[in-house]
Amino acid sequence: MKKWIVFLLAFCLLFGLAGCGKGGEVIDEDVDGEEEEIAEDADEEEVDPSEGEPYVGDSFSKMVGSYNINTEWIPFAEPLVVDDIFGGYVAVSDNVYYVLADGLIKQYKLEGGSLVHEKDLPLEKEYKNIHTDEKGTLYASAFMADFVGFRDGEQIFAHYGPDEVAMHPSGGWGVSWFSGPDVEVITLGDGTIESEDWNIAEVSTIRHMNIGENHIFVSGSSVANEEQAVFVYDLKKKLQLTLGDKEFGDPESLGSVTVVIETNNGFMAFDGNYREVLLWKSDGTFIGRIDDEDLFGTKYPWMSTAVLLPDGSIVAGMTEKRADESAVEFILYRLTGF
């Protein structure tokens, strides 16, 4: 019962945050204004997404600090229209792209510069998060659903118990989290799963967790002041750095970080609430922030996911409303230069 109450509070808080726009102001069109707009347009004929104008991306380049960040749109052969603007995730293994959209996992292959749908993975419930490891295993997790693994499109395990799981790229272990500071480090064996409790003392509410090669990233509200922060831990769970944790108006302030990527040059955070990408050096020195329009040409996306590829590039995913408002699409961009 307690977990359900926490879940409902976190759910409400997420939607409240989604209504905050760039610079922290409340954007009415995403919360109350959107409901009013829907009511005003209720009598108008709805546009069939298949008859609307699909999203068309481009390539962009933007300097931040001494880095020139380049982005390139990765098109889907068939546009991926979604209902859930917050729930898009991508995971990549070699030339296979897994996309989690509206709770379902779709498998794509990159052919001729675009993503071609191959199949949907068989799932008994809707899922919320996916990861791949270096062996090609796909991990899928969600609250009140089995934690499952797939390899070559076939399910290889199912474990009841974990909530949303962030996996280490090597596979075999990860962190199960819900929204509070009490999480579990899980270890997978041959058909087994073990867990170890971990209380993350620095955070009161977790917004997101992900694990890189060398660090665990915990994004959420700071116990010290309730500001949004990214806490960076080593693989032994020792705090190394705190990113953000600043009041609104500070150049380093955060809204709601959805994922952090570590490269050889430092850390790149995607802020879904502020619709910005922020960069820090490896020692935590702040480099700067870039607006989504400068990087992706987007107007008001929810940036929900990003993964580091073996070649050092980053694939980032987000939802964006079409210009003709006929649908919301999940779109992907490749980033280089950091």
Query: How does pLDDT run across 220-266, given as a tens digit for each residue?
Result: 999 999 999 999 999 999 999 999 999 999 999 999 999 999 999 99
Q: What is the pLDDT of residue 332?
A: 98
Report the b/e string of 283-310 with b at 16+ CB within 10 A. eeebbbbbebbbbbbbebbbbbbbbbee
Q: What is the pLDDT of residue 21?
A: 54
User: How far is 63 from 305, CA to CA, in rounded Å?
Assistant: 22
Task: Taking residues 285-296, report their average pLDDT.
Answer: 98
Please determine, for residue 11, whether its predicted confidence score (pLDDT) is greater than 80.
Answer: no
Please determine, for residue 3, whether its predicted confidence score (pLDDT) is greater than 50.
Answer: no
Give the confidence band of 22 by pLDDT, cuts at 50, 70, 90.
low
Give the pTM: 0.86
Q: What is the pLDDT of residue 49?
A: 81
Task: Taking residues 9-15, report their average pLDDT.
Answer: 44
User: How far is 311 from 121, CA to CA, in rounded Å?
Assistant: 27
Could you give all domains of the chain from N- to C-terminal order, each with its CATH number? 2-42+60-336 (2.130.10.10)
Query: How does pLDDT run across 201-212, given as a tens digit for each residue?
Result: 999 999 999 999
18: three-class secondary structure by DSSP = helix
